[in-house]
Amino acid sequence: MEQVAGKVAFVTGGASGIGLGLAKVLVSAGMKVVIADVREDHLASAAAFFGDSGHRADAVTLRLDVTDRSALSTPRRRRCGHSARFICWSTTPAWGSADR
Ligand SMILES: NC(=O)c1ccc[n+]([C@@H]2O[C@H](COP(=O)([O-])OP(=O)(O)OC[C@H]3O[C@@H](n4cnc5c(N)ncnc54)[C@H](O)[C@@H]3O)[C@@H](O)[C@H]2O)c1
């Protein structure tokens, strides 16, 4: 996991379940994580978790529906910086129907 420290991960469906678990592992490994999810309530819970555990600066939440193709390019530019440091994981079933 040393190779990923300092890099940025973008986890769709990241505010609950498998995605949230992945986000926690990645933050523990030293990554910055953008947690993208369609559910505001899940995002609020995830933000509270990372804030309470001392990782407020390591996890950014973003409301995003991965089936909305036009919404997918915006967070990468605005939140994740340049793409060389950008790694993407997906956990939602919706991703399979979205163009990359
Ligand atoms: N949990 C398991 O043991 C398990 C096992 C095998 C497969 N799966 C599959 O993996 C997937 C995730 O499972 P989970 O347990 O983490 O589910 P979950 O419901 O806990 O988490 C999924 C997250 O994805 C978000 N989401 C749903 N649609 C979205 C969209 N269009 N855009 C952005 N975010 C969206 C939800 O709001 C939720 O926060 C599901 O398809 C599930 O069937 C889960």
Higher pLDDT, 28 or 72: 28
Phi and psi for 66 in degrees, rounded to 5? -70, -10
Q: Look up the CATH number of the domain holding residue 26.
A: 3.40.50.720
Ligand 1 test: best mutation among 25, 38, 72, 92, most atoms within 8 Å of CB?
Answer: 92
User: Has residue 11 got a pLDDT over 70?
Assistant: yes
Residue 97 banded pLDDT, cuts 50, 70, 90: very low
In a domain, 97, yes or no: no
Domain residues for 34? 8-92
In a domain, 2, yes or no: no
**Whose C-alpha lies nearest to ligand 1, atom 41?**
93
Q: Are 34 and 80 spatial neighbours (Cβ–Cβ below 8 Å)?
A: yes
In a domain, 41, yes or no: yes
Total structural domains in the chain?
1
In a domain, 12, yes or no: yes
Per residue in 22-65, pLDDT (tens digit) is 999 999 999 999 999 999 999 999 999 999 999 999 999 999 99
Return the number of other C-beta atoms located less than 10 Å from residue 97's C-beta: 9
User: Has residue 2 got a pLDDT over 70?
Assistant: no
